[in-house]
Chain A
Amino acid sequence: MGRHRLSVIRKQSLVSGLPLPAFRLPLLALLLLLAWPWVTMNEVWAQETAVSPLLTGRIRDAQEQPIFDAQITAYSGAEVLAEGVSQEDGRYTLLLVAGDPIPDQISIRVERRHFRETTYELPNRAIESLRQSNLLHTPIITLERRITPGFWIATLIFVGMLALIALGKLHNTLAALLGTSLIFAVSYLGAPLYEGLYIFHFEDALRYIDWNVIFLIMGMMIVIAVVERTGVFQWTAYMAYRLSGGRTWLLVIILMIVTGVASAFLDNVTTMLLMTPVTIRIALSLGINPLALLMPEVMASNVVGISTLVGTPTNILIGSYGEIGFNDFLVNLTPGVVLALVGLIAYNLYIYRHDLQLSSAKGSVSEVLLQRLAERGRITEPEHLKKAGVVGAGMILLFVLGEKVDLLPAVTAVMGATALLVWIKPDIEEMIEAVDWTTLVFFMALFISVGAIQEVGLISFIASGIGQLVGDNLTLAMLAVIWLSAVLSTVIANIPFTAAMLPVIGFLSANIPGADSKVLFYCLSVGSAMGGNGSLIGASANMVTAGIAERAGSSITYMYFLKKGFPALVITVSLATIWLFIRF
């Protein structure tokens, strides 16, 4: 009270204290003018703070997945009461004008491309409740899918893209870019002529790109580019030969373990690019069939690569979508992978027993070649390797511990790559060139293509179909996901396949009792990666290995790979399936 009075006195003295009374009127006018915006703002504020009736709710599809970007309109007769848009989680909020009487009849209209327009009429008691409390939570509104010509075109484009990749008619990236361009061409040029052709717009497409995946892959590529130039692969392979002491069976086991461990932290393609030439040299030196070493290596690479989040692009995709961290993969998959590797080693030692024994009996070891092998089997950049080792260890630590502070793997990878570049100061142009931009563009275009079939509803239909087949049976769902993805990965490139399957797995995980443990994501990881062993085109690492072997006179034909690789698929996927059933 005292403070209030004091302020009044001060105001009076400010005006009355002026020497010339003639100035008082204009000054008051000026003060009023200056105060005017403040007064009007207060009026607006007063209007806004008056309680506005609020309508909230959620929009989802038939598979109980949230629908974002749906246009929601509350209306009464011809009068629009409020408008809004649903968010990522499908929630929406409509704010009615404060002070206006709430009409006796209110309807909520929901409009979204690729869905049927749906209207929900508020019951009388809901309107009464809104009048009393100014807040109403409406029931979940489920939208039904609408099959448009855009649906068929997006499906056709996606299947065409997969076919172009599988048949090798176009480079993966070019095929994905072609698919993306066609989707936009239809949406932007076709839809104005006929609305049903609409698929989605560029802004919507960007929403589907998983930047966590892009930055994680990019960061790891830079680290790999530094590591691969140090000669560590050549040294390791040579040490494997020395450790084996000329026992070829032991050499096979060591090379499989070395390749597997390398693949768990680096991408499989790079691992095989660097391991294959030196492995062929070892085989030539020992006078054995190079394929008896290469095939076990590439199979081990495909199997062991999935033991960590960063081991394969498919795991990176799965981890980002399913919010599965580095530790989760280690705990839930690595034991199964070890089990599968043991089976794989036994299988390879059996099928190549003649190749390995024959050479020992021949005693065809070339001393000249072994000498050359020893000369090249050394670390060429020890300082860089030490620094890469320190940074790599730090990154693994952050991958493991970062989950506690929500540190995304992509951030760790980019920080690690930057730290390494700052520390070793390489030629930055060379390092930038070492980043496989075509692969990154492939991923971006792929995300958009998968986004298109998700947008038009194809993924929902597939999810719904699988959901009906497996029902509430988690065991059946696990078997279906593992084996379907394993077999399909032998003919379809596993990256686009995995990307397309993720929303399906997300739906099944949300709807099958017990699947919230994310077990189906691990099933997808096992199937899509180990399925790569089923055929030559099943994994990029297979193609690279075959390409190098071919240039050293050892052909790995499609049939040869199928004959050796498919039984390996059956063995490893079976063992991993057993593990997943034990674990979950």
Chain B
Amino acid sequence: MPIEIPKDKWAGSIRAITIGATSAEGGTRSRCVTIGGETTMPYLHFEAPTPNKPVIAIEIKSRKPEDWSPLLMEVWGEAMTDPAQWAKKSEEAGADLIALGLTVEDTPDDAVRIVKSVLSATGLPLIVWGPGQAEKDNEVLVPVSEATKGEKLVLGICEDKNYRTIVATAMANGHLVQARAPMDVNLSKQLNILISDMGMPKERIIMDPTTGALGYGIEYGYSVMERLRLAALQGDAMTQYPMIVTPGFEAWKTKEAKVGEGVPEAWGDWKARAIHWETLTAIALVESGADIVVLRHPESVARVKDAIEELITA
């Protein structure tokens, strides 16, 4: 029998956003990454094609992180002591972008030097995060932003308590910002409004709805993302931004991924479980509308990339 498939007709769409600038565009990247532009809920090709597939960023740190899981230490090895090296290996592992996290130990000069070294080691577009404390973030991100004018980096992380300085410097130097709100549709939207009220062009905001790892609140982030996407499609201009999430960071915080000893036998093989933990967290978020997923383990990167290919080519 003939069936009429109900199709949603949406008034709105996600804004397409480009990260990184090639030399033609005033930067030094070998290629740019464009995300967003969706006009349907994730991967519903029978309604409309997905114009840009979700991309994967690999997270690296400015200094070797001593508290990361031994599994990550093992896979990245010596590269972890040199951000440029690490970025290069990440590119080889299939990253579309590099997410570089600065640390509290970095002076403004360190920060600028490290960011520049990463930029010269890889042609991929770059996300740069401050160490996560308001004053420190502003202290390092402003000089980084100025020293990389025109590269179209993503600077972060803007939160409601600290966004003005980061937004101002990103605006002045042609960068983008990552706007994070704690797993709440309204708070995400409010931060987007505050940032765009400052005059930030709308095609330079990426929203970070925050997520929890599998088993640690992923369902909140999952639903918040679905709701943000729905609101955007319904025409709410203040939610029409692509989304970035950090399943790698979240998953590798969990006991399930991080440690192999002193855990229940029913958890099974450590390494396989850890990869599953990161991969499944990321896949769920891709299914709920993530445009950038930031991961840590190359094996997870490969699996998530494979799944994205399948979703996109249906």
Do A and B originate from a single complex? no
Report which A residues bind B (CB closer than 8 A).
Answer: none
